[in-house]
Amino acid sequence: MAKSITGEALQGPVTKEGHEVEPAGSSGRTELPDFEKIERSQGFKNLMRKKKLFLIPATALFLGLYLAFNIIISYTNWLDAPVVGDIPWVWVFAFGLFAMTWILVTVYMKQAAKFDKMAEETLKEFGYEEKEDIQ
Amino acid sequence: MNATVIIIFLVIVAMTLVITYYAAKRTNSASDFYTAGGGLTGWQNGMAIAGDYLSAASFLGIAGSIALFGFDGFLFSIGYLVAYLVVLFVVAEPLRNLGKYTLADMINARFDAKKVRGAAALSSITIVVFYMIAQLVGAGALIQLLFGIDYLWAVLLVGIMMTIYVLFGGMTATSWVQIIKAVLLMLGTVILSFLVLKNFNFNIMEMFTQMKTATPHGEAYLSPGVKYEIPLDTISLMLALVLGTAGLPHILMRFFTVRDAKTARSSVMWATWIVGIFYVMTIFLGFGAAAFVGADLITSTNPAGNMAAPLLAQALGGDILMSFISAVAFATILAVVAGLVLTGASAFAHDIYGQIIKKGKATERQQMLAARYASVGVSVFSILLAIFAQSLNVAFLVSLAFCIAASANLPVIVYTIFWKKFNTAGAVSAILTGLISALVLVSVSPSVLSPEAGAAILTGTPLFPLTNPAIVSIPLGFIGGFVGTLVSREIDAKKYAEVKVRANTGGFKQL
């Protein structure tokens, strides 16, 4: 990426060899890794596969349930009947969507910890360490 | 206005000013100003997101809506909460990994083009302005009700406070005002919920049984359809809410205040819990107000139901609790508008001035000055608009802001992260198609045009049947990006590889 960095006085970033990158405002050329090579690497491909395996079904699930709920309550009276005592189904399903949100967030947090580890390994493989680019 | 109100009110003002004073000392660079130096922790940012998100409309408006319309009043909350899954799964981490201060930064990490940045800044500014007008007009009316201050003075008071926070304390002050507000809001809501539940003998079943007969709606109160009768309109609006949050610039900006994607992720988790628990408690507030205050008193105090929560506090906890709840509502307003000013300022000062006009070569001093001028500019402009909009029915502007966010910002975000062939022309056309279609459709919708004089902004026959155009404009935003990309055919696989690697690993930031 031969793009000049913004005018802000960054103290970082440092290339993988450990040379200071020229600060902002100068020519701003930085030595960058071959991103296409990283993209083609087994580690990165695995990471993307694992991510997709979780994110696509999870997104389809929550958007699907959410839309189904809205369509059902807008066009039908199916959920108006009481389920326990005088509480109608619609409240149970509404709370179910809340519970779904919290559950999916919790599950994702666990999955994401695995993604982090995979990402870290891929980055290490290409000689990159964190803290190098934190300003 | 009694002495308790004035004391609690002054304590909140004093507390936020002390925060601003300390924040000002730590605000020495553009990065401090826009992102609080990127040093917030997950729970801090999670609370601040909740503080930024839960507007007075959420607190007073939803409680009032539930009190008056039962389930329909609660319906929006489902969309507002589920929306965080879109934020978490799609936006939060890539945004943190690719961007610096604004949404435009993230998109420009892939397309280094002024027109893309300009378009992104334009949509952010539009969203902020609409959201802000709705907030300030609402705030003016609420403060008038709560404290008996004139509309004009109420708007000026809120306007001056928000300007002070942002101008001197930048993101640090704004974040802490939002965190304190979130704490106060949760505290107030927990106290009210507890009192309501106590009055229902801590029995949820009994609460529902009583609600069946407690309101003029009878059994229908507990079912959908009391307020929203046009199915397609409801679905369109719910679509805007669930997809819009992930494109709201003032929420997105919060993700730059943390150091990495991992912290961004945990801040969404915190926000989801806080926001979700809050919405569950609004049910108790709404039911309580309907049962113990009554629909007649609620609507005679304010036809929209905004006074339901304060009246409930009065009924269950007397003057002191009512004063506290009113003060919480005030803090709520301040936290939201401060976040909006900062976001508007970042689009003007960072995107338009810093990156487009100065081509990223502005000095640190110039950036800070620009940020501060822009903050004052955005504040003054919003205050003026709010004063002129006093008598207009602008409540729909909040859902319009969500609609624009979903139509103009979400497609470009999704394509930037996931679509290899996406290109500069596609990015510009995605943003503009979404933005323009949402604006055009809403300007000929029942929200703006009503045959009944005074019911909407203009009198006339609506040409578009839905009050919220999301169901049309969101697909248009995606189609716009798709067609724009195919028409220009330019493709940069190398750049996409870089964006993909950076977005998904968090490595090689901001080079």
| pLDDT value of position B1 | 58
Other Cβ atoms within 10 Å of A89 Cβ, number: 18
Q: What local confidence, expressed as pLDDT, does residue A1 receive?
A: 37
pLDDT tier, B447 (very low <50, low <70, confident <90, very high otherwise): confident
Query: Which residue from B104, B143, B8 is spatially nearest to B354, judged by alpha carbons?
Result: B104
| Chain A residues close to B262, C-beta within 8 Å | 112, 116
User: What is the arithmetic mean of pLDDT over B463-485?
Assistant: 95
Q: Which positions ≥6 away from A83 have C-beta within 8 Å? A: A89, A92
Question: Contact B242/A63, CB-based, under 8 Å?
Answer: yes
pLDDT band at B510 (very low <50, low <70, confident <90, very high): low
- Among the partner residues A21, A48, A88, nearest to B504 by beta-carbon distance: A48
CA B300 to CA B68: how far, in whole Å?
A: 12
Residue ranges of alpha helices (H) inside B148-294 are 151-199, 204-214, 231-244, 249-252, 261-288
Tokens 């493709």, residue located: B491
3-state secondary structure of B40: strand
Q: Is A135's pLDDT higher than 80?
A: no
Report DSSP letters for B314-341, one per residue: HHHHHHHHHHHHHHHHHHHHHHHHHHHH
How far apart are alpha carbons B161 and B440 in whole angstroms?
34
User: For residue B94, what are its two tokens?
Assistant: 């890539």
Contacts of residue A9 in chain B, CB cutoff 8 Å?
29, 364
**Each residue's pLDDT tens digit, B127-139:** 999 999 988 988 8
Q: Tell me the nearest-neighbour CA distance from A17 into chain B, angstroms.
A: 13
- Per DSSP, what are the bridge partners of residue B459? B450
Are A66 and A97 in contact by the 8 Å Cβ rule? The answer is yes
CA-derived radius of gyration, chain B: 22
CB proximity A93 to B under 8 Å = no
> For B53-78, what is the mean pLDDT?
90
Q: Are A119 and B507 an interchain contact pair (Cβ–Cβ within 8 Å)? A: yes
Q: Quote the pLDDT of residue B55.
A: 86
Distances (CA, A) of B145 to A74, B117, B343: 34, 41, 28
- H helix or E strand, kind and range, residue A82: strand A82-84
What's the CA gap between B96 and B510, in Å, rounded? 10
Q: Report whether pLDDT(A14) > 70.
A: no
Three-state DSSP class for residue B117: helix
Q: How high is the mean pLDDT of chain A? A: 79
| Contact status, residue B356 vs residue B370, Cβ threshold 8 Å | no
The answer to whether B504 and A47 are in contact (CB under 8 A) is yes
The 10 Å Cβ neighbour count of residue B181 is: 28
Cβ burial of A127 (10 Å; 0-12, 13-18, 19+) is exposed
pLDDT of residue B378: 95
Report CB contact under 8 Å: B268, A105: yes
Residues of A in contact with B97 (CB under 8 A): none
Provide the shortest C-alpha distance from residue B365 to chain A (in Å).
10
Token pair for B143: 């403060």
Could you tell me which residues are beta bridge partners of residue B258?
A: B40
Question: Is residue A6 predicted with pLDDT exceeding 80?
Answer: no
| Interface touch B81/A101, C-beta < 8 Å | yes
- Checking if the pLDDT of A23 tops 60, the result is no
> Which residue of B28, B32, B43, B82 is the best one to mutate when testing the A interface, meaning the one whose CB has the most A CBs within 10 A?
B82
* pLDDT of B340: 95
Q: State what percent of residues in chain B have pLDDT above 90.
A: 76
Q: What is the three-state SS of A119-135?
A: HHHHHHHCCCCCCCCCC
Helix (H, G, I), strand (E, B) or coil at A37: helix
Kindly determine whether residue B208 and residue A38, on different chains, have CB atoms separated by under 8 Å: no
Residue A87 phi, psi dihedral angles, 5° rounding: -85, 115
Answer yes or no: are the C-beta atoms of B470 and B424 closer than 8 Å. Answer: no
**What's the mean pLDDT in B412-419?**
95
Rounded CA separation B100/B123 (Å):
18
What is the distance in angstroms between the Cα of A34 and the nearest Cα belonging to chain B? 8
pLDDT value at residue A7: 37
Average pLDDT of B286-311? 92
Q: Average pLDDT, stretch B402-431?
A: 96
Is B25:B37 a contact under the CB 8 Å cutoff? no
Chain A partners within 8 Å of B284 (Cβ):
none
The two tokens of residue B292 are: 């113990």
Q: Where are the alpha helices (DSSP H) in chain A?
A: 35-40, 42-75, 89-125
CA distance A69 to B490: 41
The answer to whether the CB atoms of B266 and A122 lie below 8 A apart is: no
Mean pLDDT of chain B: 92
CA distances from B508 to A120, B74, B105, B185, B341 (A): 12, 44, 15, 39, 31
Cα–chain-centroid distance for residue B298? 26
ipTM surpassing 0.90: yes
- Give the DSSP per-residue string, B357-421: ISTT---HHHHHHHHHHHHHHHHHHHHHHHHHTTTS--THHHHHHHHHIIIIIHHHHHHHHH-TT
Region of poorest pLDDT, from A19-23, A124-128, B103-107: A19-23
Q: What angle do CA B200, B203, B207 make, to 5 degrees?
A: 55
Instruction: Give the per-residue pLDDT at B227.
Output: 87
- pLDDT above 70 (res B199): yes
Mutate to test the interface with A, among B89, B241, B495 (most CBs of A within 10 A): B89
Mean pLDDT for B26-51 is 93
> Which residues of chain B does A52 touch, with a Cβ-Cβ cutoff of 8 Å?
none
pLDDT in tens, B371-393: 999 999 999 999 999 999 888 87
A92 contacts chain B (CB < 8 A): no
A64: which 2 tokens?
A: 């699907």
* CB pair distance less than 8 Å for A128 and B280: no
Measuring CA to CA, which residue among B66, B313, B284, B306 is closest to residue B196?
A: B284
Which of A66-70, B452-456, B501-505 tops mean pLDDT?
Answer: A66-70
